[in-house]
Structure 1
């Protein structure tokens, strides 16, 4: 069975390295390391014209929609909350096009943090733009470069539960969350009721979580994606 190629969507930001300070396409190394550690080959997918999405997806065996900035609230017909900021129109358009192409091909997909929110919006869902307004604290996103440690309980019988167990402590960094998610079923919640994972029960592998599985020693979710991607690659190779 061939080693599956996993596409990772990236940021496009001002960055500094060595003597340079330029616009750069980047992603925390933990994503690629986690994919490699679970048997996949990571490939970075910088934001580009949406028309390129099909040409990219046809060459992939799996896709990760990575974390990042807020989704443009105009994408779900909502006015921006005062704390909603710095959305990236180019990244929204690119990742939505990737999701369109992935859905048409049945490509295994994992959404991480912003990725979960974008997948809900792609399906016609709505977001709560500032979760502390609902839960009364900022444990899901303490600020700066610090993750919040959140205990989540998975929903019995879901794919997420099968991959990570009934309960686990996860690393979160999200001030927004998913309110509605057409076509997806809840797969995990925090104790305060925040939806922390969802999945499409009709898809081969279409899973999304609000936490960052790439930061943890237990990369069960990424391992599950890579296994499904390997199976997808095998099926394509024998056609």
Structure 2
């Protein structure tokens, strides 16, 4: 940024039951990989937990940010997009959904850069009126997008990117190797959302963007765990151009 300050990136957290040292309690958490990727890219990561106040007053958070990352995590409550729950849709956190939908919607309105990763890509689509496939094996007949729970092992596949798209610019190529771990995906695209990347496994939509926004990209894979990926760096570079706050 012009004043030498690192961009401040809001990083939305999960709310999960967790164990650490002698404790077993609910916690706001994320994989360290998200924070590491942002710090390596030159940003300050500020973790933003679900908050009922923020769901109603997103500007209270966004006023202090230069960009917003919507991270991975639990399934989005299908009530958010007007559908009944599939048997394989589990561990939903409506409080997280409400806060992140409000933050994403308002960040787009304010022309802040937004990056959605995995669940975060799906959240962007839902926030703009889109829907999700709740269990990919039912539609695709295979489990190649999430072969091992809790692991990226053997889940690598290439994604084909639209020439001239934000996704292609962020990745720096038209065919991008990815690390994938998901059982849900974008179905109907939200208002103003376009698909810009497709899995070479089965043509599943794996990148979305909003052409009328300043910089808004959703990727179904996990660039934060791949040091070769340029996606987080491209997002951070854009966030660094956010005008300095008063």
* Interval containing the TM-score (normalised by the shorter chain): over 0.9
Query: Could you say which residue in structure 1 is the equivalent of 2:227?
Result: 217
2:167 matched to 1:160?
yes
Of 104, 109, 112, which residue of structure 1 is paired with 2:114? 109
Farther off after superposition, 196-205 or 50-59: 50-59
Instruction: Look up the match of 1:15.
Output: 18
Q: Cα offset for 1:218?
A: 2.1
* Corresponding residue SS for 2:130: coil
CA displacement at 1:52 relative to structure 2: 4.1
Structure 2 residue corresponding to 1:42, chosen from 40, 45, 61 = 45
Structure 1 stretches of 4+ moved >3 Å: none
1:63 to 2:65 alignment: no
Query: How many equivalent residue pairs?
Result: 236
Contact 1:34 1:219 in 2 (8 A): no
For residues 119 and 206 of structure 1, what CA distance do their matches in structure 2 show?
A: 9
Aligned ranges 1:60-209 → 2 under 5 Å: 60-147=65-152, 148-164=155-171, 165-181=173-189, 182-191=191-200, 192-209=202-219
Structure 1 residues 46-80: Cα deviation after superposition (integer angstroms, max 9, x where no partner): 11111342100110000000001111111111111
Unaligned runs of 5+ in 1: none
Do 1:7 and 1:62's aligned partners in 2 also have CA atoms closer than 8 Å? yes
Give the distance between the partners of 1:16 and 1:108, measured in 2 at CA: 33
Deviations 1:167-189 (A, max 9, x none): 12211111011012221111110
Deviations 1:11-56 (A, max 9, x none): 1111111112221111100000000001111110011111342100
Specify the alignment match of 1:53 in structure 2: 58
Q: Which has the higher helix share?
A: 1
RMSD: 1.2
Question: Which secondary structure state, in structure 2, belongs to the residue aligned with residue 98 of structure 1?
Answer: helix
Normalization by structure 1: what TM-score?
Answer: 0.95
| Offset from partner CA, 1:145-167 (integer Å, 9 cap, x none) | 12211211111110111121111
Unaligned runs of 5+ in 2: none
SS in 2 for 1:95: helix
